[in-house]
Amino acid sequence: MGKGTTVLEVGDDGVAVITLINPPVNSLSFDVLLSLKENYEQAQQRDDVKAIVVTGSGNKFSGGFDITAFGGLQSGKMEQPKKGLISIEIITDTLEAARKPSVAAIDGLALGGGLEVAMACHARISTATAQLGLPELQLGIIPGFGGTQRLPRLVGLTKALEMILMSKPVKGNEAHSLGLVDAIVPSNELVNTARRWALDIVECRRPWVASLYKADKLEPLGDAREILKFARAQARKQAPNLKHPLVCIDVIEEGIVSGPRAGLWKEAEAFQGLLQSETCKSLVHIFFAQRGTSKIPGITDQGLVPRRINKVAILGGGLMGSGIATALILSNYPVVLKEVNEKFLEAGIGRVKANLQSRVKRGNMTQEKLEKTLSLLKGVLDYESLRDVDMVIEAVIENVSLKQQIFVDLEKYCAPHCILASNTSTIDLNLIGEKTMSKDRIIGAHFFSPAHVMPLLEIVRTQKTSPQVIVDLLDVGKRIKKTPVVVGNCTGFAVNRMFFPYTQAALLLVERGSDLYQIDRAITKFGMPMGPFRLVDLVGFGVALATGIQFVENFPERSYKSMLISLMQEDKRLGESTRKGFYVYDNKRKASPDPEIKKYIEKARSISGVSVDPKLMKLSEKDIVEMMFFPVVNEACRVLDEGIAVKASDLDIAAVMGMGFPPYRGGIIFWADSLGSKYICSRLEEWSKMYGQFFKPCAYLLERAAKGAPLSAPLEQAKSRL
């Protein structure tokens, strides 16, 4: 059976309506594209057809080219169509060059190839809320159905570059003011308006525009060159490791300098090349991995319906609590914020206000909306006000006995159905709930700071957490626009388990002679937002030490015990907040290296009893990256082996969204598999001989390496490769 189709219906008015049908988003599979071509040709031939309307089924135009086909095209299982077949033969020479005019009727979304089909029509009618955009760069490719040529001609070069390079869609209303669509109508009038518009074109009451040859919106060549030069500089600065944004700019330039037809050919060539790139493979993996995190075998396939959460309570108005409260009220959840005294409560509410105010300052929220959002927040000091909430999220300091007492109290005051969640980032949930009888409704809701900004939500289930409670929290996560990763219960869960060896590797290397600023530079160049030392400065030494202790206590055999951070803390160097950490900070928070650090390193080195290793003093960037990240891979393997994560791709998302691992490398395990389990294992073995247990490969990694199996393959599959 084919994948999707189009349907042609001819009305008495002489308009042929062609509907794209490929749920859920009417993606453009080859079947859909070939069927679209056939129906266009039929409409051309039929005497009873005067004009054409293209629309999508289920109130959606189209989400673009079928991303599920990428894998087949990349592996060679599916044949690449000949160059230009779709963008030139179908979209340009069949759709745009047709002898009968066509109008796109856009509801819901027109993204990527979807918008490119719409731009080849001779006019576009849209609803106000539809999303229109070319987000291809997010997938490591460029628009490949003529978008690089038509969008600049419809909206001007500057706006087109912004939309394409930032993968930023616009809503119908904005698209209208930009000239991308010709009229905005309500959804129920969409197709009829488009029909009339198409007939008006036939009768010359409306212009018949072929976007590819429109030139009035294009800037003069000299100006265009300047704009492109600026865009190139920005792209190089923002994503120095990525080539495809620069390729995209070259392709756009070709169309402006040599004409749109030449631009189309260059686009087709570049598209085919980029489709095979590692960047594209990695980003497509991330696309599906991200959607896969909310599919949990045994939980989300049981037909459970999420219960309605009407009101949420947050315990603790510190940095985390106030961030979580902000995230919730921003998605219209009424929130009760509980603190222990007036002073803390006021400070907590103040933080939420400040979070919202920064949105107003940046122009992302009106003052009126701020007031309305803030009215959803109520501060309280007692447990009485928690009687009618459906979920509590505890976000107090990381202190086991305090948390245990809180959960006992919650059990007393909250309704029996109320979900009892903890935002702990490291502590075992069984310990937190030890003194309660409510173990089935205890769950971890681990947010990342700042909680109203960071996209990840680590959902921690214990053996006893009921599937219903997991489904409920998944639903809340979706409503507050977080990507969930559901993990099992242990010290540090998935993200901090991976973070720990990362920080430890950095400390081990500097104690043995590597330059800490060089480590930070190499790691930033690899694609992390900042290096490990700059990061510790940012989160603060207090947090780093508190989490560190949890790990050293729980995993002593593989912890590298360094006193470096403690020694600096004794001298009140606590990171950026004190203007001194591994770096020194000026008034503008600009970080500069500090020669004084040597002193602390030497002291820490003598406490650890290690000596400088000349090899580690002159590590290459590649070696730094591997010595920093292979221990992370090793820990990720343990997390998989212990069943803490259900699938490898969940850890890829956890690394990308929780640690800042570059998405264009596909996440931690995907990246590791690109290097091979054998190679990683052999390097770790080599280092463990020289530098100790910290690097020792775990059983899972050893087993995979021995079989030459990828780390991401499910256990049975890896075994069956024998």
Ligand X SMILES: C[C@H](O)CC(=O)SCCNC(=O)CCNC(=O)[C@H](O)C(C)(C)COP(=O)(O)OP(=O)(O)OC[C@H]1O[C@@H](n2cnc3c(N)ncnc32)[C@H](O)[C@@H]1OP(=O)(O)O
Residues designated as active site: 116, 136
Amino acid in position 585: Y
CB of 109 to ligand X, least distance (A): 5
Q: Taking the chain, what is the end-to-end CA distance rounded to the nearest angstrom?
A: 35
Asked whether the beta carbons of 705 and 681 are under 8 A apart, the reply is yes
Class of residue 500 by CB neighbours under 10 A (exposed 0-12, middle 13-18, buried 19+): buried
CB of 44 to ligand X, least distance (A): 24
Closer to ligand X by CB, 69 or 319: give it. 69
CB of 119 to ligand X, least distance (A): 11
Closer to ligand X by CB, 291 or 618: give it. 291
357 C-beta neighbours (distance < 10 Å), count: 14
Closer to ligand X by CB, 25 or 698: give it. 25
CB of 227 to ligand X, least distance (A): 22
Closer to ligand X by CB, 67 or 543: give it. 67
Q: What would the two tokens of residue 46 be? A: 């039929």
CB of 615 to ligand X, least distance (A): 45
- C-alpha 515/C-alpha 598 separation (Å) is 10
DSSP string, 566-578: HHHHHTT--BGGG
Asked whether the beta carbons of 510 and 603 are under 8 A apart, the reply is no
In sequence order, what are the residues at sequence separation of 6 or more whose Cβ sits closer than 8 angstroms to the Cβ of residue 247?
Answer: 142, 270, 274
Amino acid in position 67: I
Closer to ligand X by CB, 65 or 197: give it. 65
CB of 488 to ligand X, least distance (A): 23
What is the Cβ-side half-sphere exposure of residue 644, based on CA atoms within 13 angstroms? 22
In sequence order, what are the residues at sequence separation of 6 or more whose Cβ sits closer than 8 angstroms to the Cβ of residue 169?
Answer: 109, 111, 131, 132, 133, 135, 163
Contacts 24+ apart (CB under 8 A), 371-374: 373/329, 373/330, 374/329
- C-alpha 167/C-alpha 263 separation (Å) is 20
Closer to ligand X by CB, 145 or 600: give it. 145
Closer to ligand X by CB, 532 or 667: give it. 667
CB of 213 to ligand X, least distance (A): 20
In sequence order, what are the residues at sequence separation of 6 or more whose Cβ sits closer than 8 angstroms to the Cβ of residue 361?
Answer: none
- C-alpha 307/C-alpha 112 separation (Å) is 35
CB of 73 to ligand X, least distance (A): 11
Residue among 242, 72, 244 nearest 148 (CA): 244
Asked whether the beta carbons of 88 and 148 are under 8 A apart, the reply is no
Closer to ligand X by CB, 169 or 444: give it. 169
Asked whether the beta carbons of 506 and 532 are under 8 A apart, the reply is yes
- For 142-177, b/e burial (b = at least 16 CB within 10 A) is bbbbbbbbbbbbbbbbebbbebbbeeebbbbeebbe
Q: What SS3 class is residue 310?
A: coil
Closer to ligand X by CB, 140 or 532: give it. 140
Shortest-Cβ-distance residue relative to ligand X: 112
CB of 169 to ligand X, least distance (A): 8
In sequence order, what are the residues at sequence separation of 6 or more whose Cβ sits closer than 8 angstroms to the Cβ of residue 38?
Answer: none
Residue carrying structure tokens 């729980």: 554
Binding site for ligand X (CB under 6 A): 24-25, 27, 63-68, 109, 111-113, 116, 135-136, 139, 143-145, 147, 291
